[in-house]
């Protein structure tokens, strides 16, 4: 006869279950509504961790107070971002001006030689299209562009304030969190894992950042020498793709090679060869970096980059890659030590030890 399984649920357990589900949905709703604020905070934390050595180095000078060191670092960072943004906008604007002149002219030549294009009013359509591109790039009309600029300005100001806050008080926040651990041995072990793991992960991230900067500068020089339009924007594109392992540099360099091939095939071959040499240097540097810091698999970086890109865009891709490197570094720190502690704490009595996994007969 089959036995009936009866599950009794008390009123207290039912209320606790309902309360837990409601609290979970509340946290999810708060996280969804505060998505932009969370992104600002995470970005500020990442930037503060990356620029902290520069602030600390400047603060070691007796005549430079820490507040002045933070201000100088912020000004240098803002100046660099402003210069890169200016070059990108200037190059894109020049390329757009050339396109607005050349495209209607070429459409008019096609209209003169084709009745079909004259009936299609190709020149008029092309002129309207190229004239509407700047408005689309700006985010719509004047009101939409002003609203977008205001929103981005507030986000930039909030991110800057949060970054300065984390630079000044980040270590105190970490120490305060560690002080909540009562056991001295556990607290010291946790502090060591966090400190050493974050040190290796941030060293990895800083080297990759400098690598991206150098490769972007090389790409800019190659694009300018090859006469490629929009060299600054394409160089930034190459620098962003350089964060991905294996063939990221070549994927980012494809537009430069294609534009160079529009002039001559030989120029495209030379440009492609230059980027192959850069890829070889990138491979060698990554091998050296993994030996010096932490080994992060290509799959983990690619997965983190595309997951972050899908959720939060370009900023999310960079944050997810940094988070993946930090997670792998911390796991590599706690792994061997924890296994050694478990083995040391195992009972000596064979009957009390864990049963061995049976092997083949």
| Predicted pLDDT of residue 274 | 92
DSSP 230: S
Which of 272, 260, 254, 252 minimizes the C-alpha distance to 212?
252
| Predicted pLDDT of residue 222 | 92
> Which residues 6+ apart lie within 8 Å of 332 measured at CB?
197, 294, 295
Which of 306, 54, 39, 331 minimizes the C-alpha distance to 198?
331
Considering only 205-219, 269-283, 296-310, which range has the smallest mean pLDDT?
Answer: 296-310
| Predicted pLDDT of residue 229 | 78
| Predicted pLDDT of residue 344 | 52
Name residue, tokens 């940094």: 322
Contact status, residue 285 vs residue 211, Cβ threshold 8 Å: yes
Alpha-carbon distance 223 to 238, whole Å? Answer: 11
Distances (CA, A) of 2 to 5, 7, 8, 95: 9, 16, 19, 80
Inform me whether the pLDDT recorded for 204 exceeds 70: yes
Alpha-carbon distance 22 to 29, whole Å? Answer: 11
Alpha-carbon distance 165 to 47, whole Å? Answer: 11
For residue range 309-342, list pLDDT tens digits in order: 877 777 788 888 888 888 888 888 775 554 454 4
| Predicted pLDDT of residue 360 | 40
Could you state, in order of their start, the residue ranges of all structural domains in the chain?
35-180, 184-337
DSSP 27: H
Considering only 144-148, 226-230, 282-286, which range has the smallest mean pLDDT?
Answer: 144-148
Q: Which residue has the higher pLDDT, 229 or 34?
A: 229
Name residue, tokens 């988070």: 323
| Predicted pLDDT of residue 353 | 40
Distances (CA, A) of 272 to 76, 238, 251, 261, 345: 34, 13, 11, 10, 58
Helix, strand, or coil (residue 63): coil
| Burial of 96: CB neighbours in 10 Å, binned 0-12, 13-18, 19+ | middle
| Predicted pLDDT of residue 218 | 92
Alpha-carbon distance 219 to 232, whole Å? Answer: 9
Inform me whether the pLDDT recorded for 148 exceeds 70: no
Sign of the alpha-carbon dihedral angle for 77, 81, 84, 87 = negative
- Report the share of the chain in percent with pLDDT over 70: 77
For residue range 254-278, list pLDDT tens digits in order: 888 888 887 788 888 999 999 999 9
DSSP string over 160-197: HHHHHHHHHHHHHHHHHHHTT---HHHHHHHHHHHHHH
| Predicted pLDDT of residue 357 | 36
Radius of gyration of the chain (CA): 28
Alpha-carbon distance 160 to 113, whole Å? Answer: 57
Q: Which two tokens stand for residue 158?
A: 């909030």
Mean pLDDT estimate for the chain: 77
- pTM for this structure? 0.68
DSSP 4: P
Q: Where are the alpha helices (DSSP H) in the chain?
A: 11-33, 35-59, 66-112, 115-120, 122-137, 142-178, 184-225, 231-241, 248-261, 265-292, 298-344
Mean pLDDT over residues 111-137, rounded? Answer: 70
Instruction: Supply φ then ψ for residue 228, to 5 degrees.
Output: -85, 130
| Burial of 60: CB neighbours in 10 Å, binned 0-12, 13-18, 19+ | exposed
């Amino acid at each position: 006869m089959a036995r009936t399984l009866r599950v009794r649920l008390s009123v207290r357990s039912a209320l606790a279950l309902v309360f837990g589900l409601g609290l979970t949905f509340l946290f999810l709703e708060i996280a969804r509504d505060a998505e932009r604020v969370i992104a600002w905070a995470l970005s500020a934390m990442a930037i503060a961790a990356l620029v902290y050595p520069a602030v600390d180095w400047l603060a070691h000078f007796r005549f430079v107070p820490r507040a002045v060191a933070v201000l100088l670092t912020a000004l240098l960072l803002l100046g660099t971002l402003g210069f890169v943004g200016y070059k990108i906008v200037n190059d894109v604007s020049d390329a757009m001006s050339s396109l607005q002149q050349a495209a209607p002219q070429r459409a008019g030549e096609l209209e003169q030689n084709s009745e079909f294009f004259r009936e299609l009013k190709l020149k008029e359509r092309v002129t309207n299209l190229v004239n509407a591109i700047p408005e689309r790039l700006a985010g719509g009309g004047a009101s939409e562009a002003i609203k977008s600029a205001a929103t981005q300005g507030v986000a930039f100001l909030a991110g800057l304030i949060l970054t300065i806050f984390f630079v000044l008080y980040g270590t105190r926040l970490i120490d305060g969190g560690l002080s909540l651990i009562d056991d001295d041995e556990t607290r010291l072990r946790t502090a060591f894992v966090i400190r050493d793991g974050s040190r290796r992960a941030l060293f990895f991230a800083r080297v990759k950042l400098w690598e991206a900067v150098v490769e972007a500068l090389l790409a800019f020089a190659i694009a300018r020498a090859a006469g490629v339009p929009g060299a600054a924007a394409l160089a930034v594109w190459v620098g962003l793709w350089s964060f991905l392992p294996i063939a990221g540099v070549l994927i980012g360099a494809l537009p430069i090679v294609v534009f160079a091939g529009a002039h001559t095939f030989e120029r495209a071959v030379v440009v492609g060869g230059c980027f192959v040499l850069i890829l070889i240097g990138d491979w060698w540097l990554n091998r050296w970096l993994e030996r010096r810091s932490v080994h992060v698999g290509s799959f983990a970086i690619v997965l983190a980059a595309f997951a972050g890109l899908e959720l939060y865009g370009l900023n999310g891709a960079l944050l997810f890659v940094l988070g993946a490197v930090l997670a792998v570094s911390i796991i590599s720190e706690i792994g061997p030590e924890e296994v050694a502690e478990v083995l040391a704490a195992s009972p000596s009595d064979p009957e009390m030890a864990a049963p061995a996994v049976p092997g083949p007969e």
